[in-house]
Amino acid sequence: MLTRRRLIAGAGAIVASAHVGVPAWAAQDVKLLNVSYDPTRELYSVINEAFAADYKAKTGTVVTIEQSHGGSSKQARSVIDGLKADVVTLALDWDVTAMERAGLIKPGWRDRLPDNASPYTSTVAFLVRKGNPKGIKDWSDLTKSDAQVVTANPKTSGGGRWAFLALWGAVAKAKTHDLSTVAGNDEAKAAAKAATAFPVLDDATARTVITTFYNSHVPVLDTGARGSTVSFAQKQIGDVLVNWENELWLALEEFGADKFEIVYPSVSILGEAPVAVVDAVVDAKGTRAAAEAYLQYLYTKDAQDTIGQLHYRPRDIEALARYSKDLPPIKLFTIDETFGGWTKAHATFFADGGVFDALYKPLK
């Protein structure tokens, strides 16, 4: 079992290298930059070492992988503005699509790897202070009580957008699936493919609840998911943190189960985290082979096991079952079936002038 008790890094983009026993003479070997989102620092620190060893054993090539982390949409913007990422491992399909539209990633990237090019998933749940003094049990408790909620800004954070959509879909009673089974996954994929109408986009009740939530119950909107974890767990702001499941587990491990509790709502959203090779960069640098092998490695049994140990949900159903004590089955709805995919969801909710801009009125 891996252990990952370490201080939670502060918010904001960082670049960290994972040099895996690289001798000086190997400096000419392959170097990759993985531009990722906030919460994946710990995951890729472990994955990078394992991949480098595996790749060297198979090819004889020494590979060094650097990591860059920050809010998902900010990271995508940095790549579009010139940050030379070989691969991106982000929180949102939309952020990869933005790079595709910028000409950096070729169309069809979503079909190059299994499961929408998302080798692991997560969901959105709650972290409360020990004893759950505000009695937070489900989405309705976030606005019915006097709870103060910490979550990330949907304009800049992938985790923030997933949290927004999780609340919206739960209020709008989106159709859910049991994605802990093969049959449930097949059912969800078929439903997403068949979906043609998305009435939840215009759900008036969801709009009212979301307006109340962000304007009356959220004291601070951090730019990234990790920043919101720091605000809640280290700065002691708020009564409940709404964030990625893996972030909740990290805070629990870092600060102690005697201080916090994880609460799973009755339903939530399937958070798919896509990965893609940045075609324009790897073709210019000559790193395509290593970059593609790096992303393919994420689907191996070893990597899927690491993913489960670090509280991301493996795509492999057997691996997911091995970690079901920490990652319990929960009814999930998908963005494709519920909201018509990320392009539609982005245009409706998060683009400039969209629903979030219209409803959110920050205090002066």
pLDDT in tens, 100-148: 999 999 999 999 999 999 999 999 999 999 999 999 999 999 998 789 9
Amino acid 156: pLDDT: 84
User: Is 354 a residue whose pLDDT tops 50?
Assistant: yes
Which pLDDT tens digit goes with each residue over 216-238?
Answer: 999 989 988 889 999 999 999 99
Q: To the nearest whole percent, how much of the chain has pLDDT over 70?
A: 92
Report, as an integer, the average pLDDT of 181-192. 95
For the chain, what's the residue count?
A: 364
Return the minimum-mean-pLDDT range out of 176-190, 277-291, 324-338, 350-364: 350-364
Token couple for 94: 């939309």
- Per-residue pLDDT, 361: 87
Residue 1 banded pLDDT, cuts 50, 70, 90: very low
pLDDT given at position 146: 87
pLDDT of amino acid 286: 96
Q: Is the pLDDT of residue 248 over 50?
A: yes
User: What is the spatial distance between Cα 174 and Cα 200, in angstroms, rounded to a whole number?
Assistant: 7
Task: Give dist(CA 99, CA 76) in Å, integer.
Answer: 7
What is residue 363's predicted lDDT score, i.e. its pLDDT?
A: 60
Which of 98, 47, 106 has its CA nearest to residue 278? Answer: 106
Residue 118: predicted pLDDT: 97
Report residue 87's pLDDT band, with 50, 70 and 90 as the boundaries.
Answer: very high
pLDDT, mean of residues 145-157? 91
pLDDT of residue 28: 64
Q: What is the mean pLDDT of residues 323-336?
A: 96
pLDDT at residue number 13: 43
AA identity, residue 99: M
Tens digits of residue pLDDT in 198-219:
999 999 999 999 999 999 999 9
Tokens standing for residue 223: 């730019």
pLDDT of residue 72: 85
d(Cα 306, Cα 215) in Å, to the nearest integer? 39
- 3-class DSSP assignment, residue 17: strand
Query: Does residue 3 have a pLDDT over 80?
Result: no
Q: Considering the chain, what is the average pLDDT of its residues?
A: 91
For the whole model, what pTM was predicted? 0.89
Helical segments of the chain, H only? 41-59, 72-80, 93-101, 114-117, 141-144, 158-171, 182-194, 204-216, 225-233, 245-255, 279-285, 288-297, 301-309, 317-322, 335-339, 342-345, 355-359
Q: Is residue 265 over pLDDT 50? A: yes
**pLDDT at residue number 19:** 44
Q: Which residue has the tokens 């082979």?
A: 289
Residue listed under structure tokens 């958070």:
271
When pLDDT is cut at 50, 70 and 90, the band that residue 27 belongs to is very low
pLDDT tier, 10 (very low <50, low <70, confident <90, very high otherwise):
very low
